[in-house]
Amino acid sequence: DHRQDLQHEAAITADEARYLMEALAYQFPQIQFHAADVIASCAGVRPVIDSGKSDPSKEGRDHAVWMEDGMLTVTGGKLTTFRLIALDALKHAKTKLPGWHDKLELRPVFREFALPRSQRLTASQHARLAGRLGINARAMIEQASADELQTIDGSETLWAELRWAARHEAVYHLDDLLLRRTRLGLLLPHGGTAILPRVRELCQQELGWDDARWEQEEADYRALWRKHYAPPGEAA
């Protein structure tokens, strides 16, 4: 069970890190992976509905959605059923939105489409962007400058993806951009702090943040990363 304050983000414990390292060494002894090779950590809490079983791992993965005094609550479920959970939540929300007439049916995530080839990108980059953005990939490529279609060192992410996320993907805080929209905070050393000046150039205006807001967001992000996403043993 997770016994930490649910008002705070989860962070990996020393025991969890040790367990994972031991499992990795057992399964892949040839790679000689050490704790010093870890550049980030990530932990989460799975909301499991308690049906009274003594062993939490024996509980089901069903979800529950209910409306109470105008508040919609969703709990339980698992990542692979996220679309079903979202659809169920929308059906409940629709009862409070009489002007909304969507049929709320499951639809394909991506429609079949042809992404025009750009000489500025490789075939694998085209495939990746099509898989990530679907039909929006074309607009992202067309709106990006040549230098924004360069890959960020140490990742497969293009600089243009940062601007696109800031413009279109509901970024409210810098950690939204770096830890969830692009995952650069988990893929680059030190949470990607080395690229923050360039990120600021690309995204500050898109986000509508003044200098004071950006500097506060950057300070908050650095503190959050150190406390909850740093490699085991480095968290502060």
pLDDT, position 107? 80
Structure tokens at 175: 């950690």
The answer to whether the CB of 89 falls within 8 A of the CB of 65 is: yes
The domain ranges of the chain are 1-45+144-236
Rg value, the chain, Cα = 21
Structure tokens at 198: 């360039």
What whole-number distance in Å separates Cα of residue 205 and Cα of residue 153?
A: 23
Rounded to two decimals, the pTM is: 0.85
The answer to whether the CB of 41 falls within 8 A of the CB of 230 is: yes
Phi, psi for 128 (deg, rounded to 5): -65, -45
Residue type, 218: E
Structure tokens at 25: 């060494």
Q: Is the dihedral of CA 229, 205, 209, 213 positive or negative?
A: positive
Q: What is the pLDDT of residues 3-48, one digit of tens each?
A: 778 888 899 999 999 999 999 999 999 998 888 999 999 998 888 8
DSSP letter at 182 equals S
pLDDT, position 236? 55
What whole-number distance in Å separates Cα of residue 139 and Cα of residue 42?
A: 32
Query: Residue 235 — very low, low, confident or very high, per pLDDT cuts 50/70/90?
Result: low
